[in-house]
Amino acid sequence: MELDWMILANHAEARDGLLYISGGTWDTLNIQAPMEGGPPNAVAVFQGVVVTRLKVHGSEVPSDHSFSLVVIDEDGAELAKAEGSFHAEKIAGVPPEWGQGVNVIVGLTGLPLPKFGQYSLELLVDGRHVGTRPFRVLKLY
């Protein structure tokens, strides 16, 4: 199994093997004013989802897999972890040597971000690191 791609989006849905993504491919939260009424000790709140497409080898289907998506700040501190599972099903007619796509969407809306700077999203599947998606929080005021 390998990561095909991972993006940040405002919203995403997976239906009938397709992804419907709106507000996709951003990597920066631009904060234009101090946050009022939000969580204590946060400069921003993540609003959106992480959308991943994994490629599963034909020899790995059908199978169940677990994943973890870990949010890390620029100092290496773990801020949050989302865990779940997915099932990779054999698609009829696909040759065994072809990779089969599996879409995974993880919502992170409401996650407080404690400081301006760099963050990363680390994706692990079955305990093995498969990819990283960096993002940043910038102060504009």
In angstroms, rounded to a whole number, what is the distance separating the alpha carbons of residues 80 and 84?
A: 14
Domain hosting 29: range is: 2-139
* Number of domains into which the chain is organized: 1
In angstroms, rounded to a whole number, what is the distance separating the alpha carbons of residues 27 and 130?
A: 19
Residue 113 CA: distances (Å) to CA of 36, 41, 77 = 14, 8, 12
Long-range CB contacts for residues 124-130, cutoff 8 Å, separation at least 24: 124/67, 124/68, 124/69, 124/70, 125/1, 125/54, 125/65, 125/66, 125/67, 126/1, 126/65, 126/66, 126/67, 127/66, 130/1, 130/2, 130/3, 130/54
CATH number reported for the structural domain that contains residue 117 in this entry? 2.60.40.10
Tokens representing residue 56 in the block: 């599963």
Among 18, 9, 8, which residue's Cα sits nearest to residue 102? 18
- The reply to whether the predicted model has a pTM over 0.85 is yes
Tokens representing residue 58 in the block: 């034909």
pLDDT in tens, the chain (141 residues): 999 999 999 999 999 889 999 999 999 999 998 888 888 899 999 999 999 999 998 888 999 999 999 999 999 999 999 999 999 988 888 887 888 999 999 999 999 999 999 999 999 999 999 999 999 999 998
How many helices (H) and strands (E) are present in the chain, helices listed first? 0, 11
